[in-house]
Amino acid sequence: MVIVESYPLAVFMCVITMLCWGSWANTQKLATREWRFQLFYWDYAIGVLLLALILAFTMGSTGAGGRGFLADLQQADAKWLGSAFLGGVVFNLSNILLVAAIDIAGMAVAFPVGVGLALVLGVITTYVVTGQGNVPMLALGVAGVVIAIILDGLAYKRLASTSQKTPTKGIVISVVAGLLMGWFYAFVAQAMGRMEGETQMLEAGKLSPYTAIVAFSAGVLLSNFIWNSVMMVKPLSGAPVAFGDYFRKGNVRLHLIGILGGMIWNLGMSFSIIAANAADPALAYGLGQGATMIGAFWGVFIWKEFKGAPRGTNSLLGAMFFFYLLGLGILIASKL
């Protein structure tokens, strides 16, 4: 399998993760102009698993280090396969709530509040599980992100006061999504084996990053039959969605947009996991969740979600971006 040992390369991959995690939701914004987000989400889940399999049979099956994907799958302990699978189940529940929050409040709110909170919890839980990371600097980086989350919530409340939006509902759903999302990465991180010795042999019984990604993605797709089905029957906003609409209202373009969204997100997830060998898992997750800043950028400057907000709102948004950048910079420096 392909192994990343260079710290600068690992940081670069985490930056790609940040861009992917912060940008995939643009496919939702495009698709939901024509159909409900629940229908988009079926294709999204398919795209997640498809990308995982592509990487497993390419990067995960070549190279001199570790084990090839099929060999690794055969030797894997069911406990660790289950841990990575459970990570996918937890993530999928959190992500579908995030998608619902985007539908209600927009990317510029759902990402900083939901994904930002996930960053905070994810850095903490991943450090607790792995024991790797510079605690004081990780704490400072997390503090910067928390301040940014608060500023974004204040900005959204100002916007909602001048429109028909309901700030409490959008923020609450984002918070719940973030609380759940902060736990999934730890399940995946603890399932992966460490590279041992100069020969870079992979710890027996545990998973390579590529096998972990496939097990995780399988958890996403299979749990979708529960989480998304519930969301269709009992949506958080709007009328129930008929299952038949997926076939009646969908077309090739809409399905491809959804699949692309899932593949973009999972490219970010995969790079984060692969990079964790050279950059400790807490840092890899925390830096990748800089997606909050990217998602907020798309929402504010491209989709104009704060257009018409009262004077002073832009100052809050500017401060939000500053504290996110500050927090992310400290997270990066924590490994140097």
Tens-binned pLDDT, residue by residue, of the chain (336 aa): 888 888 889 888 988 998 998 899 999 999 998 999 999 999 999 999 999 999 999 999 998 778 899 999 999 999 999 999 999 999 999 999 999 998 888 888 888 888 888 878 877 876 777 777 788 998 898 899 889 888 887 887 787 666 555 567 888 999 999 888 888 888 998 899 877 655 567 888 999 999 999 999 999 999 999 999 999 999 998 899 999 999 999 999 999 999 999 999 999 999 988 887 787 666 676 667 677 778 888 888 888 878 878 888 989 999 999 998 898 788 777 766
Query: Residue 101 carries which side chain, given as an amino acid letter?
Result: A
What is the reported pTM? 0.85
The pLDDT value recorded for residue 280 is: 67
Which residue from 285, 272, 45 is spatially nearest to 186, judged by alpha carbons? Answer: 285
Exposure string over 287-320, b if 16+ CB within 10 A, otherwise e: bbbbbbbbbbbbbbeeeebbeebeeebeebbebb
Contact residues for 182 (Cβ-Cβ < 8 A; gap 6+): 117, 118, 119, 120, 121, 122, 124, 125
Positive or negative, the CA dihedral 165, 171, 172, 173 is positive
For residues 214 and 273, what is the distance between their CA atoms, to the nearest angstrom? 12
**pLDDT at site 333:** 79
CA distance 23 to 114: 15
Residue 161: what pLDDT?
63
CB neighbours (10 Å) of residue 253?
10
| Dist CA 108 CA 132 (whole Å) | 31
Cα 309 from chain centroid (whole Å): 28
Report the pLDDT value the prediction gives residue 261, as an integer from 0 to 100: 97
